[in-house]
């Protein structure tokens, strides 16, 4: 009897790992060594599981055409067709550039006192160039400033030098304030690029193109990338770190937005993979703190000092594995004490989920309420029964 019980336990353990896609070669050899009865049982169980999954897939109907795009999960959306031709005009086409403003509102003169390279005296010259910059100043109106830049000669360096205009990026006709405002419109508030263009044209009478905006935002992202990387380093150094992922569309293709949040930082990462390659790209080394996640098994590939699962996910996970009556934790009415233990486990999980929801409502009523759905996903409480709110910074959103 003891041998049969041990064989049954071994087969049950291998079946459990197989249902989660974790069967190894050693498990397969061990199953083969248990005899044809064990192999037959394993094959029947796998066939039954495949039938269940196919039935679930058959029930999943495509979304109704009248359903708004925002209410359709990203994994149900078809991937957009890739361009057959390279975008843009053909080589050799006439050049195009931003048109000159009709009027100039103010002027500024820039001239160096000494050489920026050697700090030596400069020989004054009459060589100048002008640069027009459009930006939002104190009046919150679009202002065109003409900057006159003098180019003086440094005899020590043997070259002409000129001052740097601090009001805009190099070779950019749009000032810093307008670049920051439009990037916040798009990445912070979720306004589409075409809507940002319409707002600027209607309210500020600023003529900008979608391509011009995106080019400026990409240059801004390069400048802010060190701060973005620093947020990631601080997140990886946290004592407690919460991780989650959600669907994200990039150029019509389904990607995944990964969120890693602590009590002080929140780091966002967009990756085409929802598997372990994306997780390993963030955790470049072993995590020395506590990793708090749902029951998604990809996070098991992370080497962490300790692990914690979110309590709000526990009721769904136990129902999925054991059924509404306790399942593997008890056998219904006939399960006796095991069934009562399973019921208590479900009740405790439900209480934990209710506490988390109550904590979220209290945070929403406070002055530091979350500003987006992703903020709500980052809610956690310090004792592990819910989630403590962390607000994602602008840098994390931008890149």
pLDDT digits (tens, 9 = 90+) for 63-120: 676 777 767 777 677 777 777 777 777 888 887 778 888 889 999 999 999 999 999 9
- The burial class, CB within 10 Å (0-12 / 13-18 / 19+), for 243 is buried
Mean pLDDT calculated for residue range 150-170: 92
Mean pLDDT calculated for residue range 219-244: 94
Which stretches does DSSP call E strand in 66-201? 106-110, 128-136, 142-150, 152-154, 159-161
Residue given tokens 């009865």 in the structure block:
37
Q: What is the pLDDT of residue 74?
A: 73
Model confidence band, residue 346 (pLDDT cutoffs 50, 70, 90): very low
Percent of the chain with pLDDT over 90: 37
Q: What CA dihedral angle connects 130, 134, 136 and 140, to 10 degrees?
A: 110
Mean pLDDT calculated for residue range 144-171: 92
Give yes or no for residue 300 having a pLDDT over 80.
yes
Round to the nearest angstrom and report the end-to-end CA distance of the chain: 62
Q: In this predicted model, what pLDDT tens digit does every residue of 56-72 receive, in sequence order?
A: 665 556 667 677 776 77
Q: What is the Cα–Cα distance from 16 to 9, expressed in whole angstroms? A: 11
Give yes or no for residue 189 having a pLDDT over 70.
yes
Could you tell me which of 259, 264, 257 has the C-alpha nearest to residue 239? Answer: 264
Q: What is the Cα–Cα distance from 346 to 379, expressed in whole angstroms? A: 22
- Each domain of the chain, given as residue ranges in start order, spans 2-52, 106-167, 178-227, 239-398
Q: Calculate Rg over the CA atoms of the chain.
A: 30
Q: What is the pLDDT of residue 371?
A: 40
Q: What is the pLDDT of residue 361?
A: 45
Q: What is the Cα–Cα distance from 239 to 93, expressed in whole angstroms? A: 57
Mean pLDDT calculated for residue range 363-389: 37
What is the token pair recorded at 116?
């920026």
Give yes or no for residue 384 having a pLDDT over 60.
no
Give yes or no for residue 273 having a pLDDT over 60.
yes
What does pLDDT average to over the chain?
Answer: 77
Q: What is the pLDDT of residue 46?
A: 79
Q: pTM of the entire structure?
A: 0.60
What is the token pair recorded at 231?
């947020």
Mean pLDDT calculated for residue range 189-214: 90
Q: What is the Cα–Cα distance from 272 to 256, expressed in whole angstroms? A: 6
Q: What is the pLDDT of residue 375?
A: 38
Mean pLDDT calculated for residue range 273-297: 91
């Amino acid at each position: 009897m003891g041998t049969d019980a041990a064989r049954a336990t071994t087969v049950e353990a291998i079946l459990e790992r197989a249902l989660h896609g974790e069967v190894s070669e050693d498990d397969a050899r061990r199953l083969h060594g248990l005899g044809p009865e064990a192999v037959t049982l394993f094959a029947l169980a796998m066939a039954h599981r495949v039938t269940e999954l196919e039935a679930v897939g058959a029930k999943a109907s495509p979304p109704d055409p009248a359903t708004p795009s925002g209410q359709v999960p990203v994994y149900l959306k078809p991937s957009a067709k890739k361009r057959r031709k390279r975008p843009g005009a053909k080589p050799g086409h006439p050049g195009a550039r931003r048109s000159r403003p009709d009027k100039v509102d103010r002027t500024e003169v820039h001239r160096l006192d000494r050489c920026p390279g050697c700090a030596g005296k400069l020989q004054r010259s009459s060589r100048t160039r002008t640069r027009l910059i459009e930006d939002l100043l104190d009046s919150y109106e679009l202002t065109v400033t003409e900057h006159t830049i003098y180019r003086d000669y440094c005899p020590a360096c043997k070259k002409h030098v000129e001052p740097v205009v601090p009001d805009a990026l190099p070779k950019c006709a749009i000032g810093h304030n307008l670049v920051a405002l439009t990037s916040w419109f798009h990445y912070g508030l979720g306004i589409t690029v075409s809507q940002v263009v319409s707002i600027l044209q209607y309210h500020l009478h600023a003529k900008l193109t979608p391509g011009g905006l995106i080019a400026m935002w990409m240059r801004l992202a390069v400048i802010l990338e060190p701060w973005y990387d620093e947020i990631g380093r601080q997140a990886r150094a946290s004592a407690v770190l919460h991780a989650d992922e959600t669907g994200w569309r990039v150029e019509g293709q389904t990607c995944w937005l990964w969120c890693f949040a602590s009590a002080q930082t929140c780091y966002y990462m967009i990756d085409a993979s929802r598997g372990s390659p994306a997780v390993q790209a963030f955790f470049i080394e072993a995590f020395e703190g506590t990793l708090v996640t749902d029951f998604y098994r990809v996070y098991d590939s992370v080497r962490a000092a300790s692990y914690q699962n979110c309590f709000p996910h526990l009721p769904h996970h136990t129902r999925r594995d054991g059924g509404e009556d306790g399942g593997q934790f008890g056998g219904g009415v006939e399960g006796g004490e095991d069934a009562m233990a399973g019921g208590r486990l479900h009740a405790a999980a439900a209480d934990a989920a209710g506490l988390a929801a109550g904590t979220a409502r209290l945070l929403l009523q406070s002055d530091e309420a979350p500003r987006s759905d992703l903020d709500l996903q980052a809610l956690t409480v310090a004792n592990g029964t819910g989630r403590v709110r962390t607000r994602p910074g602008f840098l994390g959103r931008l890149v």
